[in-house]
Amino acid sequence: MDCCCQKKSDLSLISGLLDKYAPIPGSLITILQGAQEIYGYLPVDVLYHIADRIGESPAKVMGVATFYSQFRLKPIGKYLIMLCQGTACHVNGSQRIERAVSEELGIADGETTDDGLFTLKNVACLGCCSLSPVMMINGETYGRLTPDSAKKILRDIISLEKEG
């Protein structure tokens, strides 16, 4: 994958991480977790650099990064909306909430708004079944949602962003 047209990442940010873990066999996931914590996602040039430093093929590193849902290959918005799609939420209307969020923000699951403010991610379960349907935004839980209440939550966040 050619990454010459993308912004180059500051690879020095992960030098300590790689110095510590590259010599340890089987540490790829730990390295990827650390890199994502540093950059907020896993840029392609970082994946190539990791592959080079640990002596693995870029295909293997990319394969691990794309296999596990914890890893992101694109930056996320300032506000990560995790929308529960577990059984309780599904039965109580999580699809209607997803439709409302998508309408309000103009994005679908896995996408980020053009302004970089919101990313929508459907998740299997947030463990808040008694509050279903539920979404979590940057760690704050919102339960017993309706399409209108979900839209109001998003509008309130947008208003706060415009004020501050």
Topology of domain 11-67, CATH: Arc Repressor Mutant, subunit A (1.10.10)
| Domain spanning 79-163: CATH 3.40.50.2300 | no
> Which of residues 101 and 70 earns the better pLDDT score?
101
Burial class of residue 137 in the structure, from the number of CB atoms within 10 Å of its CB (0-12 exposed, 13-18 middle, 19+ buried): middle
| Spatial separation of the C-alpha atoms in residues 89 and 97, rounded to whole Å | 10
Average pLDDT across the chain, whole number? 94
Q: Fold identical between 11-67 and 79-163?
A: no
pTM reported for the whole predicted model: 0.75
- In this predicted structure, the answer to whether residue 1 has a pLDDT above a threshold of 50 is no
Cis peptide before 133 (omega within 30 of 0): yes
163 has a pLDDT exceeding 70: yes
What are the extents of the domains in the chain? 11-67, 79-163
Average pLDDT on 96-107 reads 98
CA distance 118 to 141: 16
pLDDT tens per residue across span 35-79: 999 999 999 999 999 999 999 999 999 999 999 878 999 899 999
Measured CA to CA, the distance from residue 3 to residue 62 in angstroms comes to 14
What pLDDT sits at residue 62?
97
Distance CA(152)–CA(142), nearest Å, equals 11
